[in-house]
Structure 1
């Protein structure tokens, strides 16, 4: 007997707005499916997490593209159609095996919801039920404390993807409106509201009912800070008599968020990091890293030299103590030779004990260089810095020798600088006491940046004079191999197994 398909609406974000029926079906399901972008995190799953149980099969349906380009022969639509067809067949396999499948949907499944694409492909083949949820439009209206419509008024729901001229015409002919799908469309939506003479009446709501909720007048919102999960509302004309509820005292207490920007490329900045940067009042960091953060005129930017980590941390903590939301930015991951440890170390002072500190991870330079070269970190490895500014050379040499004798792959940060050339020469000599001169070495420079280069050499041929502070080295183990591909390019990998 085939299983049953459920499209379950979860509401706009607050887990307490999940209906009793939705919670019951989620807990009882054999299979729980949810859509997610390529980073793998799913807002729908996060909302439903409290209702999941151990032993359930999870089916993450990962979009192949979201807003980026694709080389699929059918273009963007072809890639999406193929993805929906493949996802439906994955769920059909469970249904054919007699398993009940719940597909999680933010808001309502049939209100701009991804579930409808599964329903169209499966509901004629299996018994299916849709469980409605609270829509983001209803949530936004509640957040603002303003009704959508009353008596004979008309509410129009519009996608922000419409051309501004067409959107303006529709806005001019309705009493109330909800405009969905903002993010990149926000400037066009604001232009349409202005053309329709409705900008002064329009409100903005972001991530309604969640702990990251934000709202204000559309005219006052910086387009650079607008995520996809937001909407614009034209409430009932009668709502002018209503006053939007003030945010409670302490709704946005000061805090420090240490944010990893990744190694350089914008596409390597995580959605969590993007959100943290958008929410910040102040951006603090080493000047080149602050410059990598998109300019937002609402924010204050505080750039400083790279050798004042403790002072920078104290400055950020002081801003937060006075109610500011501060993003301290680091390249790569903030917990790897970067600002997370500096902030936490300074925060040990009782003066800062009440300041909340959050760490947002980033893609490390070691991971980025490794990915460009192949998989040199495929087995046990360690990460070391050759900088002796904060630790003596004797400690570096001892650790380097231990790592080399243990036959670990070694990722080396800060290998050289304008004033520090000799350390890499000494490190290479030390490594050659334990490693064959033919050991593969990956040299990545400015990976993710405009001057990226990656080359593969050997430990014996490594020339320290060609290395600077923008380089990262990966020294292979005795098992690391170099494979020449059909096009003549070299790929480096370290096997997952190790000889006994």
Structure 2
């Protein structure tokens, strides 16, 4: 009886970034001994992977070019690019499996490292459960590029982040920060998008460009001199991490101060621009409850304080920025709505002349009133007014005057700071003022801690509003005369203010 034929062994062979002298001894041995050599190739038949080890191939070996059906061009495959590539890997896996079943060892050549964005991994997924498999690691192109540029990428606790240039510009910006090191790969026709992202993220001056690193056709250029129409796919951008002594040192240059809005509660509501500013900062300043919502970044200084010391907080932040620091002042919601943006600018106006030389930016955030309104429909769908009932920074007489004006003008209202531990009576008086101009059935929403775990939404109306249900964490929305209630078929209740006002008699 004939013994069953022993299946061949599958090798994923990493060849490094391109220089034949960077191929490992183990990879060379496998390449010389394998009966079948498979390699990715373009339609014109050229293969970068094969060219790296072509002098090591022997005439008895079977060569299996894996010719990609599509690279960057469009395809008429019904499944699009992903469908065409998936079918391609399915077919190549079948062809390779035939050789393995016949007892032939197959070496699949892969530039860089097989498991680091390598094409080999897709064949590994399809074959490793059926055949004995071994992966030979290779020098990744990122490491080859760093060596050719003579640039250390990371030191001590610095993170190295690898980003594919195929991400959207906003996604790239959201992930870029000044404290990490980055490698951006798969450039090609994505170059312009990446360049714009680096400019917006403030990292353009640190970025280094290299094309075909370690190959004979290697090119190193300044990013500003690269022609976007002449960027090879095998190009990458390195952004080395800052030296530790530079990351946290005081600069002689004018500092930067950014006032950032975190949104009202959920981390999903923090914008990419705000995230970028927070990660770039050397120092964070803010009410300690808001600072607790910001992820800790190694080496970043944090200064938390009470919620009633806005002016002191602003002056502290400005002083830090004056010393050359990159400072973020953290606000909840939007920083320009009853928050820190005004406190900072007021301090600049009243402070030393040097503060006017600082690079000051305001980064908007989702406001609490917008978040609260979205939970219940569209109560602010027409003209509306925003008021704070806190009389800590303005006299109660002004608040009363504004309540009468807003109510008589038939604005929907968003009321911030409705009560506190020291002033429970003001919302009751505001309710009485509004009742002089609105019917008792006017819809009212009490929105507490919107976006947080203890969120609570209460529907009521002006006549039945219970002040005992309201605290400092509550935002009160009061409808206009045209605000309506709407019940959905599933029992959910919504309210909205129509965009059209109707007749004058309807509004009275």
Q: Give your verdict on TM over 0.5.
A: yes
2-structure distance, mates of 1:410, 1:250: 46
Cα deviations by residue, 1:59-86 (Å, 9 ceiling, x for unpaired): xxxxxxxxxxxxxxxxxxxxxxxxxxxx
Q: Per-residue deviation at 1:314?
A: 0.7
Cα deviations by residue, 1:1-52 (Å, 9 ceiling, x for unpaired): xxxxxxxxxxxxxxxxxxxxxxxxxxxxxxxxxxxxxxxxxxxxxxxxxxxx
Contact 1:437 1:458 in 2 (8 A): yes
Equivalent residue for 2:138, pick from 169, 173, 195? 173
Q: What secondary structure, in the 3-state scheme, does the structure 2 residue paired with 1:347 have?
A: helix
Q: Per-residue deviation at 1:344?
A: 0.6
What residue is the counterpart of 1:468 in the other structure?
471
Shift of the 410–443 alpha-carbon distance from structure 1 to 2, 3 Å rule, reads same
Are positions 1:451 and 2:450 aligned together? no
Cα deviations by residue, 1:377-435 (Å, 9 ceiling, x for unpaired): 11000100000000000000000110000000000000011111010010001110111
Contact 1:203 1:233 in 2 (8 A): no
What residue is the counterpart of 1:371 in the other structure?
374
Q: Per-residue deviation at 1:172?
A: 3.8
Shift of the 370–279 alpha-carbon distance from structure 1 to 2, 3 Å rule, reads same
Shift of the 255–188 alpha-carbon distance from structure 1 to 2, 3 Å rule, reads closer
Are positions 1:411 and 2:369 aligned together? no
What residue is the counterpart of 2:75 in the other structure?
120
Q: Per-residue deviation at 1:297?
A: 2.0
Shift of the 472–405 alpha-carbon distance from structure 1 to 2, 3 Å rule, reads same
Q: What secondary structure, in the 3-state scheme, does the structure 2 residue paired with 1:120 have?
A: coil
Are positions 1:430 and 2:439 aligned together? no
Contact 2:379 2:497 in 1 (8 A): yes
Q: What secondary structure, in the 3-state scheme, does the structure 2 residue paired with 1:454 have?
A: strand
What residue is the counterpart of 1:297 in the other structure?
298
Cα deviations by residue, 1:285-332 (Å, 9 ceiling, x for unpaired): 001001110111221110001111111111101111111100101000
Equivalent residue for 1:391, pick from 385, 389, 394? 394
Q: Per-residue deviation at 1:212?
A: 2.5
Q: What secondary structure, in the 3-state scheme, does the structure 2 residue paired with 1:278 have?
A: helix
Equivalent residue for 1:210, pick from 176, 187, 199? 199
Cα deviations by residue, 1:104-127 (Å, 9 ceiling, x for unpaired): xxxxxxxxxxx959x3359999xx
Shift of the 351–175 alpha-carbon distance from structure 1 to 2, 3 Å rule, reads closer
Q: Per-residue deviation at 1:187?
A: 8.0
Contact 2:182 2:241 in 1 (8 A): no
Shift of the 171–361 alpha-carbon distance from structure 1 to 2, 3 Å rule, reads farther
Equivalent residue for 1:159, pick from 85, 108, 117? 117
The within-5 A match list for 1:168-207 is 172-174=137-139, 176-177=141-142, 204-205=182-183
The within-5 A match list for 1:97-108 is none
2-structure distance, mates of 1:412, 1:495: 20
Q: Per-residue deviation at 1:231?
A: 12
Q: Per-residue deviation at 1:473?
A: 0.6
Contact 2:446 2:458 in 1 (8 A): yes
User: Aligned residues, how many?
Assistant: 323
1-structure distance, mates of 2:469, 2:291: 28
What residue is the counterpart of 2:255 in the other structure?
254
What residue is the counterpart of 1:146 in the other structure?
none
Shift of the 123–465 alpha-carbon distance from structure 1 to 2, 3 Å rule, reads closer
Q: What secondary structure, in the 3-state scheme, does the structure 1 residue paired with 2:201 have?
A: coil
Unmatched 5+ stretches in structure 1:
1-114, 126-153, 180-185, 191-201, 218-228
Contact 2:281 2:328 in 1 (8 A): yes
Are positions 1:314 and 2:315 aligned together? yes
What residue is the counterpart of 1:61 in the other structure?
none
What residue is the counterpart of 1:150 in the other structure?
none
Q: What secondary structure, in the 3-state scheme, does the structure 2 residue paired with 1:333 have?
A: coil
Contact 1:375 1:492 in 2 (8 A): yes
Are positions 1:343 and 2:301 aligned together? no
Contact 2:386 2:416 in 1 (8 A): yes
Q: What secondary structure, in the 3-state scheme, does the structure 1 residue paired with 2:142 have?
A: strand
1-structure distance, mates of 2:241, 2:287: 39
What residue is the counterpart of 2:102 in the other structure?
none
Contact 1:204 1:233 in 2 (8 A): no
Q: CA RMSD in A?
A: 4.3
Q: Which has the larger radius of gyration?
A: 2
Q: What secondary structure, in the 3-state scheme, does the structure 1 residue paired with 2:357 have?
A: coil
Q: What secondary structure, in the 3-state scheme, does the structure 2 residue paired with 1:491 have?
A: strand
Q: Per-residue deviation at 1:159?
A: 3.3
1-structure distance, mates of 2:292, 2:493: 34
What residue is the counterpart of 1:488 in the other structure?
491
What residue is the counterpart of 1:270 in the other structure?
271
Q: Per-residue deviation at 1:254?
A: 1.6
The within-5 A match list for 1:350-365 is 350-365=353-368
Cα deviations by residue, 1:339-393 (Å, 9 ceiling, x for unpaired): 0000011011224111111000000000000000000011000100000000000
The within-5 A match list for 1:321-340 is 321-340=322-341
Q: Per-residue deviation at 1:484?
A: 1.1
What residue is the counterpart of 2:280 in the other structure?
279
Q: TM-score, normalised by structure 2?
A: 0.56
Contact 2:160 2:183 in 1 (8 A): no
